[in-house]
């Protein structure tokens, strides 16, 4: 597993105030970069994508999202809504993408689980950290979606909903999310828990995709 920056290293220096979003960027940089170059995700930018590997990639993201939702996020949904930022699950788009691939007869190249399922921390702060990963992946998926729209078979070009988040203004979504995170992250304990959960989430995904399925 990638060695993420410790919470103390990501904390603001004494006498200064650093926004939660800035802390999260610093704390998750190493596992985030490891995820971007993970061999298991290489088919997303290949000139000729391996469709079986693509299906496995989506299944692994779905397994991770299911774990995050079941252990942490669903329980925090009433709190998210009360703070004015209702969470939008990524799993409906994953389900539709996988349905398209299944209808086309594409079988997975490997198991949906890329590794062990860890026990995630719970609570509002942990939910914020995992939501940082989920919302950030919307932005990261845009470049991949543009590429896949050019190289996937025409009948499967719609199977990029998870990566592309169609119908959403991603810049506005990220702006609203950042405002929410920095406002709620003024609570030191909540902020520390968010950083810890985000670091763990990125490290788990980076591990799951270290090998090409």
Domains of the chain: 19-208 (1.20.910.10)
pLDDT of residue 140: 86
Please report, rounded to a whole number, the percentage of residues in the chain having pLDDT higher than 70.
Answer: 91
| 13-27, 73-87, 95-109, 154-168: segment of lowest average pLDDT | 13-27
Of residues 47 and 128, the one with the higher pLDDT is 128
Give how far the C-alpha of residue 23 lies from the chain's centroid of Cα atoms, to the nearest Å.
17
pLDDT of residue 155: 93
* Averaged pLDDT for residues 142-147: 90
Mean pLDDT of the chain: 89
Q: For 98, phi and psi rounded to 5 degrees?
A: -65, -35
* pLDDT band at residue 180 using 50, 70 and 90 as cut-offs: very high
Q: List the one residue out of 49, 110, 113, 61 whose CA is nearest residue 90.
A: 61
Over its C-alpha atoms, the chain yields an Rg (Å, rounded) of: 17
The total of other beta-carbon atoms located within 10 Å of residue 67's CB is 19
Which are the contacts of 52, defined by CB distance < 8 A and separation ≥ 6? 106, 107, 108, 109, 213
The total of other beta-carbon atoms located within 10 Å of residue 100's CB is 18
Please report, rounded to a whole number, the percentage of residues in the chain having pLDDT higher than 90.
Answer: 69
| 74-78, 106-110, 153-157, 206-210: segment of lowest average pLDDT | 206-210
pLDDT of residue 17: 54
Residue 115 has pLDDT above 50, yes or no: yes
Judge whether 49 and 101 are in contact, CB under 8 Å.
Answer: no
Sequence-ordered alpha helix ranges (H) in the chain: 7-10, 20-27, 29-36, 51-68, 74-82, 91-103, 124-151, 161-164, 170-184, 188-208
Sign of CA dihedral 68, 74, 78, 81: positive
Residue 3 has pLDDT above 80, yes or no: no
* pLDDT band at residue 9 using 50, 70 and 90 as cut-offs: very low
pLDDT of residue 92: 98
Q: Which two tokens stand for residue 118?
A: 């860890």
Residue 6 CA to residue 150 CA, distance in Å, equals: 40
Residue 23 CA to residue 11 CA, distance in Å, equals: 7
| 28-37, 74-83, 88-97, 155-164: segment of lowest average pLDDT | 28-37
Sequence-ordered alpha helix ranges (H) in 152-169: 161-164
pLDDT of residue 10: 39
Judge whether 135 and 191 are in contact, CB under 8 Å.
Answer: no
């Amino acid at each position: 597993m990638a060695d993420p920056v410790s919470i103390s290293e990501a904390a603001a220096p004494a006498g200064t105030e650093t926004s939660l979003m800035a802390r999260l960027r610093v704390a998750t940089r190493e596992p985030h970069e490891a995820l971007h170059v993970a061999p298991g995700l290489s088919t997303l930018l290949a000139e000729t994508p391996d469709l079986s590997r693509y299906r496995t990639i989506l299944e692994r993201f779905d397994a991770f999202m299911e774990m995050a939702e079941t252990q942490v996020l669903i329980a925090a949904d009433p709190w998210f809504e009360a703070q004015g930022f209702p969470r939008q699950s990524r799993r409906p788009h994953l389900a539709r993408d996988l349905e398209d691939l299944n209808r086309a007869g594409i079988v997975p190249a490997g198991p949906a689980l890329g590794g062990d399922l860890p026990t995630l921390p719970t609570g509002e702060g942990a939910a914020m950290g995992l939501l940082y990963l989920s919302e950030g992946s919307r932005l990261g998926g845009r470049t991949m979606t543009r590429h896949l729209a050019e190289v996937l078979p025409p009948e499967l070009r719609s199977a990029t909903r998870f990566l592309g988040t169609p119908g959403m203004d991603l810049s506005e979504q990220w702006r609203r999310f950042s405002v929410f995170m920095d406002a709620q992250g003024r609570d030191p304990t909540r902020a520390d828990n968010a950083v810890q959960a985000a670091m763990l989430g990125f490290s788990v995904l980076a591990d799951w995709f270290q090998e090409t399925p």
